[in-house]
Structure formats: structure tokens, C-alpha cells
Amino acid sequence: MNFPDWYQQAIMQTARVGELDVFFAFGCQKSGTTWLEHLLDGHPQLACAGEGHIGDLLANLLQQAANAYNAKDMANWKLDEQDLLSLMRLAGDRLLHRYLQRRDKPGLKAVGDKSPEYALTMPVLDRLYPNAKYIHIIRDGRDACVSGWAHLKRAGQQSQFERFEDYAEYFAQHHWVRYIVTAQEMGAQLGDRYIEARYESLKADPEPKVEHLLAFLGVDCDEQSVAACLEWGSFQRLSGGRAPGEEDTQSHFRKGIVGDWHNHFSAEAIERFEHHAGPALDALGYPRGDTAEAVA
């Protein structure tokens, strides 16, 4: 056949991805999505990496390119929806296939991508990968907020907010509540292809929680497989040897504990966060803050 090598390679790669189950891991920023990625990637039958941003950046940019092409008068034949979906799927498959090549795993059964923004773009992903499964990790938004503030400091970007209290309100309104509510609404339509994992439960009782996730993905969930996941996703390995609670403000894996927000939230920060996120905290079972215990 008169196909160039790169085209034949693309066809072989998308065929390989088509032989595997596909899943997507996501959650609000700083909710443990990277940790979840490593936990799953430790399994011998799973390849999980990120951030591919297939459902947000890739899909949006290809949509813009198609719109620009169709807007040109000289383009007599326009790209339709199926043309665009084909471009998105082929590009997405090539990204997923790269995850298969990182480590030698001859018994792979599933490949996944982690991107926080998938919480907002699940309908796009479901068009591209109609049988995919979705894992939504949820963390107390106040802990996620503290982690997000530390990230801004590392990146030298905290100056866009005058104070932590301003960021706490912004994070609650524009990230935590929005991501969780949007994902849960779509998840309700996916039935048994959607599952939620709590950051706090994974920390407190990891073995049965990881076993549950592996069973959801349809891979081996025996004691040895769970242990491999926990080792690959251990805070000590990811942080370069620190124990949970030993803080390194310059590390993506800063502290690795639950409830650190009590050490950072002032009474004002609690009030402003709960103004937007109070009902969501209640619905998810996270106790509202006690201003008497807030930091001064």
C-alpha cells in the first residue's frame, strides 16, 4: 500500500490502543491526581501518565483549526464532525501509545491519562472513547487550596493575589466546587463507568481502596498487585525519601498529609472559602471549619 512510514506507524499505534481498555483519572487541581497517577501506574497491567489534556487543550485546538479551515472560501469541502472526531481520536491515541513505551509491561490490559481538566471535559472524552472508565479523586478543598497556594509560591505566581484569603475564595469558587459538581453531574450519566476516590480514605486505609480501584479497572487486584501500586505511589519514593509530614516547600509532593489546612486558614479564609464551598463541604461530609481553631 502507498502509505508513508509515519502513517503506517500511526495506524499501528491506534490499533494497539484499541486493543486495551482506556481510562481517565482526574480531579480538582492539587487533589492528589498526580499521586493517583503513580499509584495506578505501579500496576503491571496498567500504563497511566499525563498530562495529555486530550479532552481540553488538544480537542479545543483541533476544533479551532477546523473552524479556521472551514471559514476559508477556498476550502470547497468543509470538515464535518466526523472528520474532527477522527483527528482528535488519532492524536489522542498517539499520546496514549507513548505511555505504553515508557516501561516494559508485556501484560498490559489498560492505558490511562491523568489531567485535572477532564473533570470539565468528560462529554468530549466520552465521544472519543465511548467505553472509557473515569476515576474522580476528591480531596478536602481546604487542603487542596493550601497545596495550590504553595504551588503558586514555587512558581512565583502568588503575587496575582494580595493575600492567601483572596486565593482561598477564588479557589473555592472557580476550582473546587466547579470541578467537583461538573464531574459528578456527568458521572451520574456514566453509570458503572465512573467511580470516586477520596484522598483522605486512600491515605488512611490504602490497601482496600486501591484494591477497589483495580477491580473497577478490571485488572488483577491481588495482594501483590496492590503492594506494587502502593510502592510506586509511596510518598517516600515520590518525595525522594521524606516521610509524610516532612515538608519541602519546593517539591510538588510538599507534605503528604491530611488536615494541614488547619495550620494555614485564618478565620477570614474559612469564612470566604465556605461562602462558596459550604454546601459542597456538607454534601461531601467534610466538617466546616471552626474559626476558634483557625490560625491568627
Q: Mean pLDDT score of the chain, rounded to an integer?
A: 94
- Per-residue pLDDT at 291: 46
**Res. 261 pLDDT band, cuts 50 70 90:** very high
pLDDT tens digits for 50-94?
899 999 999 999 999 999 999 998 988 999 999 999 999 999 999
Q: What Cα–Cα distance (Å) separates residue 83 from each residue in 24, 67, 87? A: 23, 12, 6
Q: How far is CA 203 from the centre of its chain?
A: 17
**CA–CA separation, 150 vs 55, rounded Å?**
27
Residue 111 has phi, psi (to 5 degrees) of -130, 140
**CA–CA separation, 214 vs 24, rounded Å?**
13
Name residue 204's beta-bridge partners: none
Burial class (CB in 10 A: 0-12, 13-18, 19+), 196: middle
- Per-residue pLDDT at 296: 37
- Per-residue pLDDT at 3: 87
Q: How far is CA 115 from the centre of its chain?
A: 4
- Does the structure show a pLDDT above 80 at 292? no
- Does the structure show a pLDDT above 60 at 293? no
Q: What percent of the chain has pLDDT over 90?
A: 89
**CA–CA separation, 122 vs 119, rounded Å?**
6
Three-state DSSP state, 132:
coil
- Does the structure show a pLDDT above 80 at 97? yes
Identity (one letter) of the amino acid at 254?
A: R
Mean pLDDT of 140-161: 95
Domain 5-293 of CATH type 3.40.50.300: yes
Cβ(151)–Cβ(33) below 8 Å: no
**CA–CA separation, 159 vs 175, rounded Å?**
19
Which residue ranges make up each domain of the chain? 5-293
Q: Which of 262, 7, 248 is nearest to 143 (CA)?
A: 262
- Per-residue pLDDT at 1: 67
**pTM for this prediction:** 0.94
